[in-house]
Every structure is written in C-alpha cells, then in structure tokens.
Structure 1
Amino acid sequence: MAGRDVTVVWAVTSANHHTTRRNPVPYSRRESAIERFSVQEGLRSLVVGIHDVPPTDDFAEVTVKACREALGLPLTPADTQVACSTASVSALYRGLGYTVLPVEDEPRPEGAPAPELPWEVLTRLAGGDDGWRVPAHPASVDVLTRYRLDEHVRTVLNDPVVGDDGGLTPSRDYHSYAESFEVASDRKWAQVAPYVRPGRILDIGCATGALLERIDADPRFHESDLIGVEVARHLMAECEHKVAQGRFRNPNVFFHQRNMLGDTVFPPRSIDTSISIALTHEIWSYTRPVGARRDQLQRFVDRIAAHTAPGGVWVNADVCGPGEPERPVLLELDDSDGTNPPPRPDLDRWPREQVAEHVAGLSTRARLAQFAVDFERLAGVRVEHQQVGDAVRLRLADAMDYLTRKDYADNWLSECHEQFCGLSWADWQDVVRAAGMTLDAASRPWRNDWVVEHRIAPVAGLRGLDGAELEWPDTHVLLVARPGVTS
C-alpha cells in the first residue's frame, strides 16, 4: 500500500472505449470507482484517461507523455514507479528507466495461490458467478451494481456478434464504410420515407447518423424523438461528433452504443417506427455458430415486434437471396479481365492495401476461386463449384453471393465475412410472421438492375443446367411490417 505522502496516478487506458469486450465499462464509471476506492483507502489519487492507440513499442512513452500533459507533473524515473502486471508492457517501462512494481505478478511463497487478474474477475462476472464480488474491492462492487454495470458487462462479454474492440470485424475499414453510408443516405431515405410514422423513431445500426439527419430535416418529424443505436464505437464517435457540431435542429436526438441482440433495449410497445438498413444480413453473418443464425435473426425481429407500439411499423431494407437458393446453375465468368493465379489461403496476413491490390488484379473467374476460399474461412459457408466446359457449376445462392460481392476489393476480407443470400423472400415472410407481425402490401423482393447492368452482366452469364439463359434473380428486399398477424 502506498504511503500517505505518495500520489497515485491512475492511467486508465482505452478511455475512449466502452461497450467493447476489452473495455466494457465506460471511462466515467471506471474513474468513479477509482475515486471511491481512493477515499475509502485514504489515497491521494490523480486519474488520467488515455485514449486507445494501435499496438506500438512506444506505448509506455505515449502513456507517460499523456499523463505529464494532463497533470503538469514530471513523472520521471527518479520520482515515479510504475505498477504493472503485464510482462510485455512492464518491459517497455523498464526500457525507459522506471522501476516496475509487478502487482499480481509479484513473487509468491511456494504453494501460495496466484491472485486473480482483473480480467479473470470480469470473466467470472460475465459467467454468472456471483463470487466475483469476493476478490473485487467494495468500491468497484458498489459502482458496478449501483449503475447496473454488472448486467452490462455480462451482455457485452457474452455478445455473439461484437468483437473485442466494439466492431464486427477488425478487417473493416470504417472510414470508407462511413463514407458509403453518407453518400447513400439520400437514396435510402427516399426508399423508407413513405412508411415512417411520427413519434419515437429508431434507426437501428444508424452508422454515422446520416439517415437521422434526413429525418431531422423533414418537417413532418420536427416533434418526434430521433433515436440512433449503433454497436461499432468508430461509428458512434461520428454520431456524437455530429451532435456536438449542432448538425441536428431537433433537440430530442439521442444516440446509444448498444447491441439489439443483448438484453432488452427499449420497453414494450414504446417505439413508433423502427428502421434497419443493411443490418439484418450482418446479424445473420456474424452469428456463431453458423447453425444458430436463423434463431439469432428471429430473436432480433422478435425484439422489434415487442417494442413496436400499436399502429407502429418496422421498415427493413437489405440484401436478399434468390427464390431458389439451392438450384444448380452454370455461371460463365470472364477470365481475360485480370490475372489467373491459384487462390491464396493467407490473405489475412497481408496489409489491407495489399489485399485490395491483389484482389483487384484478379480476373472475374479467378476472383471466384479466391472468394470460395475466403468465404468458407470467414463466413463459414462452403462454396461447392466445379468447372463444366467454359462455365462453373454451383448453387444459385452461392453464385449471387459472389457476384454481389466481387467488386469490393477495398474491403475484401470484411465483405467475405458476410453472407448476402442467407434468406430468400419466402424465408423473410416466415420470420416476420413468427414474430407476430404482418407484412404491408409495399413489402417485396426486388432486383438492383443498376448493379446487374453495370457490375454483373458485363463479365458474367447465368444459365440453367439445360443451357437455357436465366433471368438474374432478386438481390434486395423491402419489408414494411406492423404488429399483428393477419388470418
């Protein structure tokens, strides 16, 4: 225990993280627990939030500099010791000349049990073991339970979709992802606007909040509550930035970093309009094990049905699989528009830019072979394909999954995590009805003819096994669902 004349500097790393597996508790609550602990133990403490940085050998130096800037204190090896139990990080501080106190890693008498690490205590909490309270300090127990953060930690750590850093996949380039949402927001708003009801309007998977900006600008909704829910912290940061910039005229705009698959987010019958755009296929794709995907998506739709008010509506726009997903087809692909090397099994070892360059240089035919390797490895979907003359024989759903993804070289590995054709229009009808909702007459599957004309047809042809040319199938779906099942 530090002496009474010692000041303890708490460097709380990844202070800009919350609702992630690595840091499920917000910095503000971590700071509260530290201050409460300090008062109870009679410590003079100073707390500094350190924003997350990419892995670097300069981590210790960056942390020390951040603390110096925040506190105006020298914090040199001559007047400061470092408490750290992570061997690799301790080595970085020793390299700067600091004496390191090993905390949980300190030498123990032979046979003495090793103390539990903080992460191990959180894991016990997430697993429902109430014994986590025993090794935790009463200050931490108080803050976690008083703010119901124990429930929050269980939700985050047991989340079947979200990764360690609060995103869906580490291979996603969130900068280009956010830009695509901004560019497409006018088109998406035009698609869903006719069905939106005033009141409490919820955008699930709101990305950068661009759709809510369009709703905010529509005078029909100037008295509505606009609520955005986003799970990825990178995108939530942009939403919060827009609020700070005054981009919304409506004062009743709220953003929450949450996962709709976790515990109940909104009270029953409390939302007038729920909107989800390009979201449901991600819930499907990132659920593990693969066999649980249908149940997980049904759980999501059930929750929307539960929080929809009488007379309310859920508007869902997303990709959709063909009506005959299992139908074997012959796919003709151009092999003269790029190189034709054998597929590589190790693209995830390359930098994203190198992956993009390699994939962009492949012919349409060679890119299918690479897709089959990466799609099975990342999405858990095996693409059975055989060369038959000048064509490739495969399932219609697999053909469309490839053709609607083949041009995303910049985000290739991220896109190969996602299955666009997991559900057909018939499947969607069953899911909606099972949730106790009915489909509006506006609901329909549809085909993106621009994509077919400009991206698919120039380099691919589709035939049946009898050689007859086939129409390109539906690629998207619009669902307008309301409470109550029709007889």
Structure 2
Amino acid sequence: MPGTVWPVTFLLFPGRHHVLTTFQADYLQSVTGPDGQCPEATVVWAVTSANHHTTKRNPVPYDRREAAIERLSTQTGLRSLVVAVHDVPPTDLFADATVKACEEALGEDLSPATTTVACSTASVAAMYRDLGYTVLPVEDGLDPQPARPWDVLLEIADGSDVWRKSAHPATVDVFERYRLDDHVRRCVNDPVIGDDGGLTPTRDYHTYAEAFETASDRKWEQIADFVRPGRILDIGCATGGLLERIDRDLRFHESDLLGVEVARHLMAECEHKLNQGVFSNPNVYFYQRNMLGDAIFSPNSIDTSISIALTHEIWSYTPPTSPSSRLDAVRRFVHNIAAHTTAGGVWINSDVCAPDDPDRQVALSLDDSDGRNPNSVRDLDGLPRAEVADHVGALSTRAKFDQFQHDFARNAGVIIGAETSGAAILLRLGDAMDFLTRKDYADNWLSESHEQFCGLTYADWTKIISEAGLSMAPGSHAWRNDWVITNRIAPVASLADPGGASIDWPVTHLLAIAEKPQ
C-alpha cells in the first residue's frame, strides 16, 4: 500500500516451488523471526522454470505455484515477494541470472550486502557462495532428513496420499481445488513426453514448426471437404497453422476451434498467435495435453476431430514393453476420440501408412556412388545436431541404410533383419519403406530414427476404427506420395522380388474419414 516501507534485508529463496512443505514454512518463519539469522527479512521466492508447465520436470503452472506461495505467506505471516524466473539452459551463471531477474522484476538491490540465500541444493548453493552470498542450507545436512519438495511431488505421482503429511496446507488446498494431483500424475508418469515437454530431446522444433506452417495449405486442401461445423478439434495442432486455415473459411465462422498440443515448444507459438490476434474467431482455445491419457473432452462433445501426421508418433513413442503395447496405445487413442465425437461427427486422420503387404520379402538396391561409404557406422549419440546432419548428409544412400539400421534399432526399438544378395539387400517391404521415407531427414536424423512410419497398414486402421465404434466413410483411402517417389526415392533406389522381377512402389499414406453413426 502507499507509504509502506519494505525492509532492506531479503531472504532469497530460489526453487521451482511446485510443492511447498510444512518444514519449509517453519524454517522460513524461524529464520525471519526476531531470533533468526534474518529478522524481519522479506522472503523473495524466485520461482525458476516459471515459463514451463505440463512437463515431467515442471508439471505445475507458474500461476498455481504463485497462488500456493501467496496463500502460505498469508497463513504464516511471512512477508513475501514472488518473482517468475524463466528457464535457462544448464549454466554456471544460473545464480547470477536468477539474482538479476529478481532485481529487474522488483527494482531492489539483492546484492550480498542486503540479501541472504536459502538453498538446499549443494551445487546451486555453491554458485551463490561464489558470488559472495551467505547461504542457509534449509533441508540440507539435517538428520533425519525432512521431505524435500521433489520427493513429495514423486509421492503425488505414485498415487499415494502420504504426500499430504509433508505438504503445507497451502499446497494441499491449491492442489485440491485445481485437481493438480491428477495433473502431476499424468505429467510425471507419461510414457511418451520427455522431461522438458517434447517427444525427444534431439528434435529441432524450429525446423518442425516451419515445416508445419509450410504444409498447412496442402493439408487443408486435402481435408477441407470433410470438416463439419460445430466444435472442431485439431489434435497435435503444432503451431496452429491448420486452425488458421479453418478460421479463414466462412463455413466455420460460428464454430469453436480447439487445438491440443503436447510439446511445450509448439504450444508457446500457438499462444503467441492467439495473443497477437491472428484469429478472427473469438472462440479459439489451445490446450497443452496428451490425448493418450484420460479423455479431456466430454462425451459426445466434438463434431470434427483432426489429426495430421500424429498417429505414427503415438505408435513410435510408446515404449515397446510388450508385443501389443504400441497397438494398445493407438487403440486407446482412437477409443478416446470415439467417446468425445458427437453422433454423425467425424475423425479425420491423415498420416503415413505401411504397405499393404509389409512382411513381403523384397530386394532393395541402393546407390552407393552419391556419397561416402565408410567401413562402419558411427555412434551419433551425444553429438551436436549439426555434426550429425553433416555426417549423415555426406553418406551415400547405401551407407545411409546401414546407419539407419543401427539407429532405428536403438531409438525406435525396431530391428531390421537384412542380408545382402549380390548388390541388393533382402529385407521386409515395410522396413525398406521405413528407410526410404526417412533417408533425406539428415537435419533431424536421430529424432526421425525414433519413429516407425510403417507400423500399421490401411487394413489395420480399418479394423482399429471399427473396434472403436466408428466406420470408414467415403473419401477414405490409402495413397502413394508420387512426388516423393519420383524426386527422392526412385533416383537412388529400386525394388524387386527376391527373383529379380521389378516391383512397383507401394502406398505411403492414408486418409481416414472415420464417422460415428447417428
């Protein structure tokens, strides 16, 4: 309020602060109390990774963390200031960057002369000491060891109620009101999404975002005639490019446009577009969710669901813990879609597709004159993405196959059984097409080798869709990308049967229009 004079002494308390514990509250009260090391100090809660949420490492949104801190401060009488500190890559300057972010936000001097630090993470505490700060250890070094916030978070993820014994009532209250315990369990236990909210740490999301934007016009042209007005959902909406096209179509000016994206890098661009007024429709909403979990839309509430180049990722990034685990994940996804689809509504699925006879043995001949042919494959793990791209891009098509076979087994868990027969390679047709449709992705080679394009045939999709209570509507078909065949594959590869007779190139994609009966 006007005229208030804040103390000149601060207690800087950095951390992600997803969970606040009773121990932390008692500790801060004792430190800032009249007999503490920092009497009457204002606690500066530096909430790190504040721009991250819905990830394994940072499941709880910043606004919920801030709400719990403010509630704790009111209940305990702590004088507090809360500062959002954006995530930074691992750096020895983390402590310095955090201090500067807080000083900029608060307009206060947080130098060692005015500020003490409370930090229980030894490596981070050492950074603050190097800057000249006195550091109080909080939980560190105590025997018995109090429950640390991350330990409590993992208890929540395990589904146990024991976490309530250690969590401060402020956290319990916020978690209960916003059902954050369920949210944490979904994020931490998600088998598909990585620590920082992406499918794989090797993916270059800038490149992917550009590709999605470029392809949006072509994808919209392919599916526009099948979209039905009402509530329209784009699952795996990437940067929202397809929803932009729907927004421009007057047929849908009274529809609700919904986008679901799990990768935080892409979700940030969706929110940026929304904030910049890209959409003319006021009813555009984006959700950062994983559709593999519990259903996030009410039954019979969506008129059109759209998924573009998504279902092969569900298949690919589900760990192969059993022979049917990947198929089970796809089935669960389709059943969730069927449940939220209205009677007469549709799900439009455009994606890559396996050949009709993926187990057929073929002889694959590859050009070995269009690049290097090293004596052995190279282990690419841990190399900078640019170095990986340079190495793969310099290989001949024949040498790329050996590299792909090596990386595909390690990253996707798919073993390509192949043997040489003269100048050709004998292998499954599905494995041949998996290589041929990925061989030119040097820029994202390790990410692409996580994915299996040829896991499901058109017949497989027809069965899965039928099992979910949907049916293939007119317009559904498998098709071959002749541009890719003509320009990328045929110039450097050929297919034959084991006897040497030439084989035509198989289908590479599908368009499924799955309709729910009236």
Structure 2 counterpart of 1:134: 165
- Give, in angstroms, the shift of residue 483 of structure 1: 1.2
Supply the RMSD in Å over aligned alpha carbons.
1.1
Number of the residue aligned with 2:399: 366
Per-residue displacement from partner, 1:13-56 (whole Å, max 9, x unpaired)?
Answer: 11011100011110000000000011111100000001111111
- Shift in Å, 1:344: 3.6
CA drift of 1:346 comes to: 2.5
After superposition, the C-alpha distances for 1:309-328 in whole angstroms (9 at most, x for unaligned) are 01100000000001111111
Q: State how many pairs are aligned.
A: 481
1:284 partnered with 2:326: no
The aligned residue for residue 95 of structure 1 is 130
- Counterparts of 1:33 and 1:88, CA distance in 2: 26
- 1:225 Cα deviation from its structure 2 partner: 0.2
- Counterpart of 1:420 (choices 453, 458, 475) is 453
What is the aligned counterpart of 1:48 among 76, 83, 97? 83
CA contact (8 A) 2:66 2:82 kept: yes
Aligned mates of 2:410, 2:210 — CA distance in 1: 28
Pair 1:298 & 2:331 matched:
yes
1:290: Cα distance to partner? 5.0
Residue aligning to 1:323: 356
* Alignment match, 1:226: 257
The letter for the 1-side match of 2:489 is: I
Task: Indicate the residue corresponding to 2:228 in structure 1.
Answer: 197
What corresponds to 1:11 in structure 2?
46
Output aligned runs, 1:201-212, within 5 Å.
Answer: 201-212=232-243
> In 2, are the aligned partners of 1:343 and 1:373 still within 8 Å (CA)?
no
Give, in angstroms, the shift of residue 343 of structure 1: 4.2
**Residues 403 and 456, structure 1, Cα contact 8 Å, conserved in 2:** yes
Q: Deviations over 1:162-210 (max 9, x none)?
A: 1111110111000010000000000000011010000000000000000
Contact 1:342 1:366 in 2 (8 A): no
Question: Does the 8 Å contact 2:344/2:517 carry over to 1?
Answer: no
Tell me, yes or no, if structure 1 residue 355 matches structure 2 residue 384.
Answer: no
> What SS does the aligned partner of 2:338 have?
helix
Q: Distance in 2 between matches of 1:46 and 1:344?
A: 55
SS of 2:187 mapped into structure 1: helix
Q: Is the 8 A contact 2:295 2:336 kept in 1?
A: yes
One-letter identity of the residue aligned with 1:390? A
Matches within 5 A, 1:10-49: 10-49=45-84
Equivalent residues in 2 for 1:62-211, closer than 5 Å: 62-108=97-143, 113-211=144-242
- Structure 2 distance, partners of 1:306, 1:190, is 27
Partners of 2:201 and 2:75 lie apart in 1 by 40
Q: TM-score, normalised by structure 2?
A: 0.92
Letter of the structure 1 residue corresponding to residue 333 of structure 2: F
The partner residue of 1:59 within 90, 94, 102 is: 94
> Aligned residue for 2:26?
none
Deviations 1:80-109 (A, max 9, x none): 11111222211111111112212121343x
State the alpha-carbon separation in 1 of the partners of residues 483 and 409 from structure 2: 28
Kept in 1, the 8 Å contact 2:377–2:402? The answer is: no
- Would you say 1:389 and 2:418 are equivalent positions? no
3-state DSSP of counterpart to 1:479: strand
Partner AA of 2:270 in structure 1: C
CA distance in 1, matches of 2:103, 2:145: 33
1:235 to 266, 276, 297: 266
Q: Is 1:383–1:394's contact at 8 Å kept on the other side of the alignment?
A: yes
Residue 482 of structure 1 is matched in structure 2 by 515
Distance 1:328 1:100 in 2: 67
Q: Is the 8 A contact 1:345 1:374 kept in 2?
A: no
Q: CA deviation at 1:345?
A: 4.9
Give the Cα–Cα distance (whole angstroms) in 2 for the partners of residues 462 and 94 of structure 1.
65
- Partner Cα separation in structure 1 for residue 517 and residue 508 of structure 2: 27
| Structure 2 residue ranges without an equivalent (≥5) | 1-29, 34-39
Give, as a single letter, the amino acid of the residue that structure 1 aligns with 2:199.
L
Aligned-partner Cα distance in 1 for 2:149–2:377: 40
* 8 A Cα contact 1:284 1:293, kept in partner: yes
Question: Do the aligned partners of residues 461 and 197 (structure 1) sit closer, same or farther apart at CA in structure 2, a change above 3 Å counting?
Answer: same
User: What SS class does the counterpart of residue 314 from structure 1 fall into?
Assistant: strand
Secondary structure at 1:105 match in 2: coil
In structure 2, what is the Cα distance between the partners aligned to 1:38 and 1:436? 52
Residues of 1 paired with 2:487 and 2:121: CA distance? Answer: 53
Q: Are the aligned partners of 1:290 and 1:380 in contact in 2 as well (CA < 8 Å)?
A: no
Residues 384-416 of structure 1, C-alpha deviation per residue, up to 9 Å, x if partnerless?
111110101111111000000000000000101
Q: Match of 2:47, SS?
A: strand
| Residue of structure 1 equivalent to 2:36 | none
The yes-or-no answer on 1:375 pairing with 2:408 is yes
Distance 2:202 2:383 in 1: 11
Counterpart amino acid of residue 313 in structure 2: E
Aligned partner letter, 1:130? D
- Per-residue CA shift, 1:101-137, capped at 9, x if unaligned? 12121343xxxx3222211111111111111100110
**Cα-to-partner distance string for 1:318-366 (whole Å, 9 max, x where unaligned):** 0000111111111000001000114445212110000000000000000
Confirm or deny that 1:2 pairs with 2:35: no
CA distance in structure 2 between the aligned counterparts of 1:44 and 1:145, rounded to whole angstroms? 25
Percent identity for Structure 1 against Structure 2: 67
Q: Is residue 334–residue 460 contact of structure 1 (8 Å, CA) maintained in 2?
A: yes
Q: What is the SS of the residue equivalent to 1:2?
A: helix
